[in-house]
Amino acid sequence: MSAISVAVAALAVLIMLVGLAGSFLPVLPGLPIIFGAYLGFGLYSHWQYYGQGTMIFAGAVVVISIALDQLAGIVGAKKFGAGRSGMIGAFLGAVIGVIFFSLPGLILGTFLGAAGFELVFAGRDVSSSLKAGTGALLGFLAGSLFKFILGLILTVLFILKILTVL
């Protein structure tokens, strides 16, 4: 592998690390970024280090992770009694929270958004609203952890494929 190829592979890994951060930050599409790094390096290297099977696997992981992430948030919120208002509030709270307060804002915003929207817009009592906020937060955390693990697996597989040819 040439020095330029090593540099491009290192850039792909750095992009994948940004994708891993996207596991927790809703403003970054984490696993699609990792897939893009796979695709970019594959195109650069003319598929010398991995091929169609790897790309199909990575693509399937991305699609499944997106579906399961959405499901985790909904199931978490629903399991703890949140309705449509709570789910909308959790999403808006997460986005606003991360914009203004980074990761702590994301976590707190998810909880407060779901609880606040349940309280104000769904007319739920404080206890039920807090319970819905807890469910939204737990669902978000479960989905984020799942995406992070899948992203880590894809990143490690990429590194192993590249290291086998060095």
Residue 99 structure tokens = 């914009």
Which pLDDT band, with edges at 50, 70 and 90, does 54 fall under? very high
**Structure letter (DSSP) for residue 124:** -
Which pLDDT band, with edges at 50, 70 and 90, does 91 fall under? confident
- 3-class secondary-structure state, position 48: coil
- Weakest-pLDDT range from 13-22, 56-65, 91-100: 91-100
Q: What is the pLDDT of residue 3?
A: 93
Q: By residue range, what is the domain housing residue 139?
A: 3-163
The CA distance from 122 to 68, in Å, is: 26
Q: What is the pLDDT of residue 11?
A: 97
Average pLDDT over residues 8-12: 96
Q: What is the pLDDT of residue 59?
A: 96
The CA distance from 29 to 146, in Å, is: 14
pLDDT digits (tens, 9 = 90+) for 27-36: 789 999 999 9
> Could you tell me if 144 and 23 are in contact, meaning their C-beta atoms sit under 8 angstroms apart?
yes
The CA distance from 166 to 155, in Å, is: 17
pLDDT digits (tens, 9 = 90+) for 131-161: 999 999 999 888 889 999 999 999 999 999 9
Q: What is the pLDDT of residue 160?
A: 95
Q: What is the pLDDT of residue 71?
A: 78
Query: Around Cβ 32, how many Cβ atoms within 10 Å?
Result: 17
Mean confidence (pLDDT) of the chain: 91
25 phi and psi angles, rounded to 5 deg:
-105, 115
Q: Quote the number of domains for the chain.
A: 1
Q: What is the pLDDT of residue 85?
A: 93
> Could you tell me if 80 and 131 are in contact, meaning their C-beta atoms sit under 8 angstroms apart?
yes
For the purposes of burial, counting CB atoms within 10 Å of the CB of 7, is it exposed (0-12), middle (13-18) or buried (19 or more)?
exposed
> Could you tell me if 161 and 12 are in contact, meaning their C-beta atoms sit under 8 angstroms apart?
no
The type of residue at 163 is L
